[in-house]
A and B are shown apart, each in its own frame.
Chain A
Amino acid sequence: MSEQYKMAAQNLIEKGFNQKELSAFESYFSTNLKDHALPPGIPEGFEGRRMFYSAFLAAFPDLHVHIEDTLAEGDKLVMRWSAHGTHTGELMGIPPTGKQVSVGGTAIDRFENGQSVEHWEIFDQVGLMQQLGVIPS
């Protein structure tokens, strides 16, 4: 099973993020997704996760995500990633800055029937906001 989860994650990153095919998000996440990592003010679960990713793809049209590491056990997959892109679109109220940013994060997904039904994630939001010049370094 763990190889299947890793292939699903690779598909999410390559197709979803790097080729900007939103259908890859829809196949990775269950519509019953319980998402522990969404900011307040957007819908919960699957809909919120799709909106969150869409917002980043719109803000960073050249976004490129790289899988740094994956490990799987039982029904869980851990993925450590890095991403870089140019901030040329509005991001959650922040007007485009034209700045190139580079951030990293780690996600954990719990799978049922081949899809993620539960998602945890922490990424370097402070680093992102510092690189955008929104908060001081």
Chain B
Amino acid sequence: MTEINKTIALQTMEALHERDLESARAKVAPGARFYGWAPEPLDADGHKAFMFGLLTAFPDSNFIVDDVVAEGDKVAVRHRLQGTHQAELQGIPATGRQVEIGGIVIFRIENGMVAEAWLNADIMGMMQQLGVVPA
């Protein structure tokens, strides 16, 4: 199961990298909950809407996977989001700045779909790179 779960987690990351939110949404179970996004928790549609806002803010976005650790029904993915901030994001007007935001997300996979996810992202680093808070 662990290898299958890894594949599903990585397919989700690849869909985000390809900016294909329909494919990412298709891997989310009904009743799924996303923790670490705002407001918390988000459901599947809330998560998709949040990610749409993120991808809109960074039109040249890339999601790069740096590490994967899996055990049982959980898969942790250490990753980076790279992009240029070209539209409003969570109240921050476009800055034109390039950012790289590190993240660690843990997915819980149930019946081949994402049932829960917990994200920690370097929002402080992002705000520093955007010049919103001092470095």
Which residues of A are in contact with B by a Cβ distance under 8 Å? Answer: 2, 68-69, 71-74, 76-78, 80, 104-106, 108, 120, 122-126, 129, 135
Contact = CB atoms under 8 A, between A and B. Distances in A.
Interface of B: 2, 36, 67, 69-72, 74, 76, 78, 102-104, 106, 118, 120-124, 127, 133
A101 to B, nearest CB: 15
B120 A71 contact: no
A11 B77 CA distance: 25
Contacts of A68: 118
A108 B104 CA distance: 9
B71 A73 contact: yes
Given A108-B76, A120-B78, A135-B133, 10 more contacts: A71-B69, A72-B69, A72-B71, A77-B69, A78-B69, A106-B106, A120-B104, A122-B102, A123-B120, A124-B120
A126 B101 CA distance: 14
A76 B122 CA distance: 21
B72 A106 contact: no
A2 to B, nearest CB: 7
Given A106-B118, A120-B78, A71 B106 contact: yes
Nearest to B2: A73
A122 B74 contact: no
Contact of A80 (B78, B106, B122, B124): B106
A73 B106 contact: no
16 contacts: A71-B70, A71-B71, A72-B69, A73-B70, A76-B69, A78-B69, A78-B76, A80-B120, A105-B120, A106-B106, A108-B67, A108-B69, A122-B103, A122-B104, A122-B120, A124-B120
Given A69-B106, A73-B70, A135-B133, A108 B124 contact: no
A129 B127 CA distance: 12
A126 B124 contact: yes
Contacts of B69: 71-74, 76-78, 108
Contacts of A124: 120, 123
